[in-house]
């Protein structure tokens, strides 16, 4: 009997997220109907486009890779209770460092990729630590600091490429990467690369780290109730610092893998801002790293669908932005669909009170 009592609430958070996505999609469809001359085609392309060709389906998988890295990086740091988005800077710098090592240093295949990913990860880690360290000494909000650092590192990375890694002829960008530095094609006819495999390994690593190790446990406790964590003897400052370093490592690694996996040369002239997508995925995954790949595929699917749609119709692919905004707002809102939970909670509280009264009387 006791087990039954909780069942309806078990899937409450999943239900909420599904509803939020459904509402957001519905609103986007309405917008399409209002502004497009060929709404049905547009919706078909948006929803089914990615399944039409093998190439576009694999595009979804590739597109999910950087999203997953960003979301995992955010998952680690946000769950420690600090809202730092320094992962963006780590990601961009990771790509820059990878470019530098790919172009300037000659190493045998395999070792070359390992070195560049590793160095990018470590530097990414240090970059993510900066806002946390400065917050401690200046007591300025880490969010503000991390945003400032993202801008600074974008310009620093950009000027590193401009000054040291620029190909003199042709379009702005670095020289082409040697084959020893690239992550190669896994499946012919697509641009699927070995970064996908590394991504899976990192997902497993983060899941283990956050859910199965004592470190992950401490990070979670710190994020949920830092007073409690402190009084239980956890050194919260160190834990947050550690979490920020690992978060930055994941982001830096993601930047490096995206660069040498998907591109032939460095051509990012504007900041890539995967971090906002990562934040949305982290929230939709209900802060659970298990679900991050799944949600990331979903977002990547929508992105690719929107691109296919914009090629086939008069609509621009940025329409996805509305969807993202609505989903974040609704999922974030505690009160969204709270009335269902409220009724249940009140019933439970009264029930407990009755039980206690019975016991007290006996």
Partner 1 sequence: MEPILEVRNLTKIYEGGVLANHQINFSVEEGEIHALVGENGAGKSTLMKMLYGMESVTSGQIFVRGKEVTFHSSKDAIAEGIGMVHQHFMLVDSLTGAENMMLGVEGTCFFTDRKGDIKKTQEIAAQYNFEIDAERRVRDMSVGMKQKLEILKILYRGAKILILDEPTAVLTPQETEELFERLKELKEKGMTIIFISHKLKEVKQISDRITILKGGRTGGTYRTADVTEEEISRLMVGRVISFDYDKQKLKPEKELLRVEDLYYKDKFQVMKLGGVSFTLRDKEILGVAGVDGNGQSELISVITAEFRANRGKVYLKGKDVTNASIGEIRAEGLSYIPEDRMLNGCAAPMSVEENMIVSNIDSFANKAKMVNFRKVKEHSLHLIQEFNVKTASEKQPIKSLSGGNIQKAIVAREFSAGSDVLILDQPTRGVDVGAISFIHSKILEMRGEGNGILLVSADLNELISLSDRILVMHKGKIVACLDNTKEKVSEEELGLYMLGIKTQEGVSA
Partner 2 sequence: MLQFLMSPNFWASVLASTTPVLLATLAANIMTKAGLFNLGIEGTMLICALGGVLTSAFTGSLLMGALVGMLLGIFVSFVLGYFILMMNAPMNACGVAINLAATGGTVFILVMICGSKNNSSSLVSSFFPSVNIPLLQNIPVLGQILSGQNFVTYLSWIFVALCYYMLYHTKLGLNIRAVGENEEAARSAGINVLAMKFIALALCGVFCAFGGMYLSMGSMHFFTAGMVSGRGFLSLAMDAIAQGNPLIGCASSFLYGFSDTITVYLQLYSQLDLQLISAFPYLFILVVLIIIQFVRSRIEKKKQQSQI
Rule CB under 8 A: which residues touch partner 1? 2-3, 5-6, 208, 212-215, 217-218, 220-221, 224-225, 227-235, 338, 342, 345-346, 348-350, 352-353, 356, 359-360
* Gap between the Cα atoms of 55 and 36, Å rounded: 27
How far does the chain reach from its first CA to its final CA, in angstroms?
22
The least CB distance from residue 199 to partner 1, in Å, is 22
Cα–Cα distances (Å) from 230 to 138, 183, 316, in that order, read: 21, 44, 50
Q: Is 283 in the site for partner 2 (CB under 8 A)?
A: yes
If the CB atoms of residues 145 and 239 are measured against partner 2, the closer one turns out to be 145
- Residue of 316, 345, 354, 355 interacting with partner 2 (CB under 8 A): 316
The least CB distance from residue 140 to partner 1, in Å, is 20
* Gap between the Cα atoms of 100 and 252, Å rounded: 14
Q: Is 158 in the site for partner 2 (CB under 8 A)?
A: yes
If the CB atoms of residues 193 and 303 are measured against partner 2, the closer one turns out to be 303
- Residue of 276, 297, 298, 344 interacting with partner 2 (CB under 8 A): 276
* Gap between the Cα atoms of 250 and 256, Å rounded: 10
CA dihedral sign, ordered 216, 221, 223, 224? positive
Residue 346 interaction partner, one of partner 1, partner 2, none, beta carbon < 5-8 Å per kind:
partner 1
Residue 184 interaction partner, one of partner 1, partner 2, none, beta carbon < 5-8 Å per kind:
none
* Gap between the Cα atoms of 119 and 153, Å rounded: 16
Torsion of CA 87, 93, 95, 96, to 10 degrees: 170
* Residue-level length of the chain: 362
Contact map string, positions 326 to 355, toward partner 2, x by CB under 8 A = x-xx--xxxxx-------------------
If the CB atoms of residues 153 and 196 are measured against partner 2, the closer one turns out to be 153
Long-range contacts from 221-230, C-beta under 8 angstroms, 24+ separation: 222/80, 222/81, 223/78, 223/79, 223/80, 223/81, 224/81, 226/81
If the CB atoms of residues 78 and 123 are measured against partner 1, the closer one turns out to be 78
> What values do phi and psi take at 334, rounded to 5?
-60, -35
If the CB atoms of residues 104 and 136 are measured against partner 1, the closer one turns out to be 136
The least CB distance from residue 326 to partner 2, in Å, is 8
- Residue of 264, 322, 355, 357 interacting with partner 2 (CB under 8 A): 322
Q: Is 239 in the site for partner 2 (CB under 8 A)?
A: no
| DSSP symbols for 11-61 | THHHHHHHHHHHHHHHHHHHHHHHH-SSHHHHHHHHHHHHHHSHHHHHHHH
DSSP code at position 190: S
Residue 349 interaction partner, one of partner 2, partner 1, none, beta carbon < 5-8 Å per kind:
partner 1
Residue 139 interaction partner, one of partner 2, partner 1, none, beta carbon < 5-8 Å per kind:
partner 2
């Amino acid at each position: 009997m006791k087990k039954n009592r909780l069942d309806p609430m078990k899937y409450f958070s999943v239900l909420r997220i599904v509803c939020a996505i459904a509402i957001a999609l519905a609103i986007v469809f309405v917008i399409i109907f209002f502004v497009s001359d060929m709404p049905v085609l547009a919706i078909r392309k948006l929803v089914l486009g990615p399944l039409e060709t093998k190439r576009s389906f694999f595009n979804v998988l590739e597109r999910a890779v950087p999203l997953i890295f960003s979301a995992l990086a955010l998952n680690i740091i946000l769950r420690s209770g600090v809202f730092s988005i320094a992962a963006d800077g780590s990601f961009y710098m990771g790509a820059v460092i990878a470019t530098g090592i790919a172009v300037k240093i000659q190493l045998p295949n395999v070792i070359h990729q390992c070195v560049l990913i590793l160095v990018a990860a470590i530097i990414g880690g240090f970059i993510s630590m900066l806002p946390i360290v400065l917050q401690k000494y200046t007591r300025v909000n880490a969010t503000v600091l991390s945003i400032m650092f993202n801008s600074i590192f974008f310009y620093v990375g950009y000027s590193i490429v401009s000054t040291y890694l620029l190909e003199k002829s042709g379009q702005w960008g670095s020289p082409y990467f040697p084959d020893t530095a690239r992550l190669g094609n896994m499946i012919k006819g697509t641009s699927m690369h070995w970064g996908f495999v590394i991504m899976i390994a990192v997902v497993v690593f983060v899941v283990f780290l956050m859910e199965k190790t004592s470190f992950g446990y401490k990070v979670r406790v710190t994020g949920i109730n830092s007073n409690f964590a402190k009084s239980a003897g956890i050194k919260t400052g160190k834990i947050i610092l550690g979490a920020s370093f690992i978060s930055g490592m994941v982001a830096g690694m993601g930047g490096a893998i995206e660069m040498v996996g998907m591109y032939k040369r460095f051509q990012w002239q504007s900041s890539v801002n995967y971090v906002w997508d990562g934040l949305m995925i982290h929230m939709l995954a209900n802060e659970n790293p298990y679900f991050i790949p799944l949600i990331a595929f979903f977002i990547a699917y929508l992105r690719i669908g929107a691109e296919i749609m914009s090629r086939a119709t008069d609509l621009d692919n940025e329409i996805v932005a509305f969807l993202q905004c609505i989903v974040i707002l609704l999922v974030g809102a505690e009160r969204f669909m709270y009335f269902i939970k409220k009724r249940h909670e009140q019933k439970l509280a009264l029930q407990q009170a009755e039980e206690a009264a019975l016991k007290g009387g006996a």
